[in-house]
Each structure stands twice: as structure tokens, then as C-alpha cells.
Amino acid sequence: MQSTSLRVDGMHCGGCVAGLTRALQALPGVAAVQVSLAEARADVTHDPARCDLGKLLDAVAAAGYDGKPWN
């Protein structure tokens, strides 16, 4: 398993957090998701062979947010 942190812009409320959490959890290979509205951050534990950074960012975009790797 690998942990990946993403910067997520565009979240405004608890509903945004819940929606993004569901979108990321739905991806094959994702084991755990923690989304923080205050930090504009999503931490995802995933199997990199089944779910890579591109798929995570695609799911963030499909949920309606701007995502990029957390640095």
C-alpha cells in the first residue's frame, strides 16, 4: 500500500468532503480516504498497481474539484 496526499481546491462544506470521500473510496485499490476541508487536503491509502496518481486526480476532477499532488 502507498499513501498519497492531494491538495484539493474548491471544497466549501461538509457535503463537499463527503462527496469527494465517496468518489475516492469508489476507486479499485483504494483502502482508506481522509479528507480535510480546513487543510484542503485528501490523504489516500491505495494499491499503486491498481490505482495510480492519475486515477486519483481524475476522480477528484470528476467530483468537481481541482486536485494536485501535495508538496
Beta carbons within 8 Å of 8's beta carbon, 6+ residues apart: 20, 35, 40, 41, 42, 60, 65, 66, 67
With 90 as the cut, is the pLDDT of residue 70 above it? no
Task: State which residues form the domain around 59.
Answer: 2-69
Over residues 13-33, the pLDDT tens digits come to: 999 999 999 999 999 999 999
Q: What is the mean pLDDT of residues 30-58?
A: 96
The CATH number of whichever domain residue 41 belongs to comes to: 3.30.70.100
With 90 as the cut, is the pLDDT of residue 71 above it? no
Computed over every residue of the chain, the mean pLDDT equals 96
Name the domain count of the chain.
Answer: 1
With 90 as the cut, is the pLDDT of residue 1 above it? yes
Q: What is the pTM of this model?
A: 0.91
